[in-house]
Structures are given as structure tokens and as C-alpha cells.
Amino acid sequence: MASEEEILILDSVRRWLERDVAPYAHDLEQADEYPHAMVAQMKELGLFGATIAPEYGGLGLGASTYAKIVALVSEVWMSLSGIFNSHLIMARCVQSYGTEAQKQKYLPRFASGELRGGIGLTEPDAGTDLQGIRCAAKRDGDHYVVNGTKTWITNSIEGGCIGLLVKTDPTASPPRKGMSMFIAEKGPGFNVTRKLKKLGYRGIDTAEIVFEDYRVHKDCLIGGIEGRGLYNAVGGLELGRINVAARGVGVATAALKQSVAYSQQRKTFGKPICEHQAIQLKLGEMATRVEAARLLVEQAAQAFDRGERCDMEAGMAKYFATEAAAKNADENMRIHGAYGYSCEFDAERLYRDAPLMIIGEGTNEMQRIIIARQLIERNPV
């Protein structure tokens, strides 16, 4: 049962979405325009500190409440959830693995939204296989000198820093032992070179970063010890996968609601198309996908909140919910017919947004492998 605090928070988010997001999201998305006003409102709502502990100025929400917020936001405009989620993955790396000095210095600024950022993992030749990154940091006195390229980095244009995964020992075997993560604020050598154009997920800034002799102080090494970067990244991505799964619930729900409404308005052969069996079959499947996805996300979030290992649960939720979003978005477009192909309706936006979630935060192919490996590990013969 939802707590009073959760009910109040979700009601506040709903009112904000209805009043300040829904009327403007369509035009901003079509123009691929950054939603500055909405970001300012998200600061006021505390969304940039949603999962950051109260002692550092955050709301201290559990993953269960956070996932519900993400689903609500994604139902209206999925891009907005990426602005605070990428930021919170970075924050989680600092909160879970950083030194107390790092927590005191950065988490209050993260929580207020004063300093926003994302997570710098992906490179042109390394995505799901993070051990294949080439971006390297060499020690030089009290600093590290970073050279390399990161790509598909959310919040890299409008944000002020990233959690930067690098190789501090490129010769280490296995490679993960030579990987470290830094809190990297913008400065000389931190070059955001180009904004990337995308099929969907528009409005949010996604860019490429080239590091050229970028100097970062040793005190910004998360945890203060080299060689733990991959561990830091994977710990943050657990929450990230629950977030992406919740986004899938939001998009799948939006597609269902649009289909239910339109099918009662559109008439063919003298009756609303919702009375045709072919449409009813689609609606029945869409509704079941939404509910199953929601329950899987809830299960993964609850395991996360209990402090349990939940890579299998998060993988199941991410895999199923994002595939549900893609399938529901496709059916929504079919139900809308020609109008679904028109930029005047939001059906085509859902259709464009859904594929990102199948790819992002670890491909769905990788999720199935994770699920299978965990099944074997948890059920030895």
C-alpha cells in the first residue's frame, strides 16, 4: 500500500505534468528543443535529488516510488525522465562508492539541481562491453590527464559534469581491474563537440565529448582507489535499468490510453472500431502487457529497496517492459491508421521513442543473457 508521502509526491508530479508539460511537450519534441522551463520546475519538485539521501539534501525516495514517478513522466514525455535519471545514476555512484568528502561536496549540489550531469560510459567502439573502452587517464602529480572520446552522453551540453569511466591501467588483465571512475566537471580539455540527432528521445541533449589533455584532480576519483570503476558503473546501472523499465511502462501505458480513446471515436462500417473484434484483440493484449510490465518493475524495485541483488529482476523488468512499449506503440500506430503516421498526433512520437529503451542501459539481448546466467547461478544442480 502506498504511503502518505508517496501519494503526495505522485499527486504533485501528476499536477505538474498536466499543467506544465502536457500542453507543451509535443511542440518541444518536434523542434528538438531543450525544455529549460521544465528543468527549472523539476528542480523545484526535487526530482534531481529524488533518490539522494536526505542528509545530503535529497528526497531519499526508494526505487519503488521513483519508478512510479518515472512511469508517470514517461507517459507524458519520455525524454524528461532521461534528464533526471542520467543525473541520478551519477549521483548514485557517488553516494554508494564515494568518499565522505566527495559526498559532502557534490551530493547537495546534485540534489538541488545546481550541478547536473550524467554518466560517461559509452564510446564510439564500446557500449554494452564496457571493458572495451579506450578513454584513458594517466597520473600526473595530484591530477590525472584524460584523453579519449565518449558518445551518446545525456546532459553533456546543458549539464556541468559527468561520472567519467576511464582506463587508469590499460594493461590490466582482466581489463576491469584497470578501470576507474571520476567526477569530471567541465573545464579546459572537456570538449562537447557535437549534439547527436536522434530518431526519438528528442528535446534532451545527447552529445559527443572529446577529452584532450583534460586534467581532473585525484580527489575526484570516486572512492579514492583506482580499479573500481566498472564496479561503480554497474552499481549505478541497476537503478538505471529499473528506470528504463519504468519508462517502458509509461510509454506502453500512453499507447494503450491513446488506442482506447481513439478506437471509441473512429467509426468504420457504421460503428466505432472498438467494437470490431480485430481491435478488441489488440486492446486486450496491450492492456495485459502494461499490467505485466508494471508488476515486473514493481518486483525489481522492491528487491532493490530491500538491498538484495536484483540484476535478474531488473533485467526481466527492463526486457519485458521495453518490448511491451515497442509493441504497444506499434499497435497504437496501426489502430490510428493514417493519423498514427502523422506528426500532428503523439502516436508517432511513442513509436520513435520506444526503440531507444530496447537498446539503452544494456541491450535486451544482453538482458536475456543476464537472466539466463542468474537462473543457473541461483539454481545449481
**Which residues are marked as active site?**
361
Beta pairing class for 117-120 and 161-167: parallel
Which residues are CB-neighbours of 121 under 8 A, at least 6 positions away? 130, 133, 150, 165, 233
d(CA 36, CA 56): 25
Q: Residue 224: what residue type?
A: G
Which residues are CB-neighbours of 288 under 8 A, at least 6 positions away? none
User: Which residue is listed with cell 588483465?
Assistant: 173
Residue 163's beta-bridge partner residues? 119, 183
Contact 48, 42 (CB under 8 A): yes
The region that residue 150 occupies, defined by phi over 0 for left and psi between -120 and 50 for alpha, beta otherwise, is beta
* Buried residues in 137-163 as b, exposed as e (16+ CB within 10 A): beeeeebbbbbbbbbbbbbbebbebbb
The region that residue 273 occupies, defined by phi over 0 for left and psi between -120 and 50 for alpha, beta otherwise, is alpha
∠ at Cα 318 (360, 37), nearest 5°? Answer: 60
DSSP letter assigned to residue 130 = G
Which residues are CB-neighbours of 264 under 8 A, at least 6 positions away? 272, 274
User: Which residue is listed with cell 586534467?
Assistant: 215
∠ at Cα 337 (333, 338), nearest 5°? Answer: 105
Q: Residue 273: what residue type?
A: I
Contact 107, 152 (CB under 8 A): no
